């Protein structure tokens, strides 16, 4: 679904190549895999480390990073993925609004949901920038910057 949303926003709904579909599928599988690992083992991590959201659990960050890659990878070039990752980390650390509320949920859902919400927020910001560029300049802002550089 994020793939189609990005394609719609950027006006590139042409038939995707097999490589693109395999990449989206791989990132989707990795997002799901790391989410399931987080849900499966986070209860034991909470008990072992004595904290509601142990820093040692990083599978939730991996799940959110792969989710960002699904949606950000098709906005333009590799550097957009880097911008997306930095934005994801900022949102995950600052925990504004609903991200902070989800982080306060007890147990394993609180560990995972705040990171996934940060990933979705990151994608909305990146897609908003791309859409704004299309409205104002008639081209995707990320593509225009990549072509100019």
| Residue closest to 80 by CA, chosen among 71, 91, 93 | 71
pLDDT, tens only, 51-83: 988 999 999 999 999 999 887 766 655 677 788
pTM, to two decimals: 0.80
| Orientation of helix 2-9 relative to helix 108-137, angle to 10° | 20
The long-range contacts involving 91-94, CB below 8 angstroms and separated by at least 24 positions, are 91/118, 91/121, 91/122, 92/61, 92/64, 92/118
Q: Which residue has the tokens 């990132």?
A: 27
Q: Mean pLDDT of all residues in the chain? A: 81
Task: Write the secondary structure of 33-95 as one string of H (helix), E (strand) and C (coil).
Answer: HHHHHHHHHHHHHHHHHCCCCCCCCCHHHHHHHHHHHHHHCCCCCHHHHHHHHHHHHHHHHHC
pLDDT, tens only, 75-105: 655 677 788 899 999 999 999 999 999 999 9
């Amino acid at each position: 679904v994020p793939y189609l949303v990005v394609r719609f926003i950027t006006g590139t709904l042409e038939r995707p190549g097999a490589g693109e579909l395999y990449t989206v599928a791989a990132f989707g599988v990795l997002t799901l895999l790391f989410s399931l690992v987080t849900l499966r083992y986070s209860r034991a991590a909470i008990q072992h480390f004595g904290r509601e959201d142990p820093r040692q659990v990083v599978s939730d960050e991996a799940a959110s990073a792969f989710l960002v890659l699904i949606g950000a990878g098709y906005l333009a070039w590799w550097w957009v993925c880097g911008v997306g990752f930095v934005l994801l980390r900022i949102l995950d650390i600052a925990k504004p609004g609903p991200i902070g509320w989800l982080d306060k949920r007890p147990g394993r859902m609180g560990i995972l949901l705040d990171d996934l919400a940060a990933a979705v927020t990151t994608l909305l910001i990146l897609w908003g920038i791309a859409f704004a560029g299309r409205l104002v300049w008639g081209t995707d802002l990320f593509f225009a910057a990549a072509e100019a550089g």
